[in-house]
Amino acid sequence: MTLYYSGLRVNEITQIKFSSISQIIKSGETVVVSHKTKMERVLYFSESAIKEIKKYFPYTEYELNNYCITSWGNPKKTFHEISLIQLVNKYMKQVLGAGYTSHSFRQGLITEMGSRSVNPKIIQSFIGHKNINTTLGYIKPTDEDIKRALVR
């Protein structure tokens, strides 16, 4: 659910603490720092995303400095990113089918933003790519996207 709404990489999700969840619920946004690019990103969440997040985090009595996704139940220790990616990929294949991975939601979000004619520089900034060509490589316009763009 978090992958779907945020466009985060799995290793970025491991950084999410209950303080981030609290910020999302209160203000609809939070800040993450990408392990990969070392860039700080602000994530924005819609009302429907906040509603879903509240379903998974219904309590307000969490230790704010504890991680949400933990290794072996230790609230101060996160999964090794490769282990978590493997677990997420296995689950996604079981639920969604063989064509999906932990990166599918990220790619889908970028493509969706591109098909809505969101400026690629905005997408690049939101998604945390250093190079615009990386962002452009994700955007796969459909025939319908092209038609909408050209028919006046």
Q: What angle do CA 77, 90, 50 make, to 5 degrees?
A: 65
Contact 44, 28 (CB under 8 A): yes
Contact 14, 81 (CB under 8 A): yes
Q: What are the extents of the domains in the chain?
A: 1-79
Q: How far apart are CA 57 and CA 25, in angstroms?
A: 10
pLDDT tens series, the chain, 152 aa: 788 888 888 888 888 888 999 999 999 999 988 777 777 888 899 999 999 998 888 766 778 888 888 877 777 777 777 888 898 899 999 999 999 998 898 998 998 898 888 999 999 988 888 899 999 998 888 898 888 888 87
Contact 109, 46 (CB under 8 A): no
Angle between helix axes 104-115 and 120-127 (nearest 10 degrees) is: 160
What pTM was computed for the model? Answer: 0.75
Which residues, 6 or more positions from 135, have their beta carbon under 8 angstroms from its beta carbon? 110, 120, 123, 124, 127, 129
What is the residue-wise DSSP string for 38-49?
--EEEEE--HHH
Q: How far apart are CA 44 and CA 74, in angstroms?
A: 28
